[in-house]
Amino acid sequence: MTETQNPTNTPEQRVQVEAVIYDQVKNNDEIVQYNVVPKYAGNNPIPHEIHFTAYGSKGFTFTYILENPAAYVRTGV
């Protein structure tokens, strides 16, 4: 899916989502199921939000909604 590189993919996604889940696995020896769901508005093929959820084998839960500015950039699509 199309996602804005800066600031959406990095640093926000890297710091607010991926690092949190990585730390949970590494520091707590927890198995984590991680789901990502793009949310679309109207006929736009680029998602305006990306929803993250994660659930761990030891009770870890996580949700995060990432805004995607790329959805508001006009393309030839």
Position 9 scores a pLDDT of 72
CA end-to-end span of the chain:
13
Per-residue pLDDT tens digits for 4-54: 777 767 788 899 999 999 999 999 999 999 999 999 999 888 899 999 999
* Structural domain spans, the chain: 5-72
* Residue 3: exposure state from Cβ atoms within 10 A (0-12, 13-18, ≥19): middle
**Residues 56, 67, 60: CA angle, nearest 5 degrees:** 10
Q: What's this model's pTM, rounded to 2 decimal places?
A: 0.83
Position 70 scores a pLDDT of 85
Asked if 1 contacts 38 with a C-beta cutoff of 8 angstroms, the reply is: yes
16-20, 38-42, 55-59, 70-74: segment of lowest average pLDDT: 70-74
DSSP H or E segment with residue 71: none
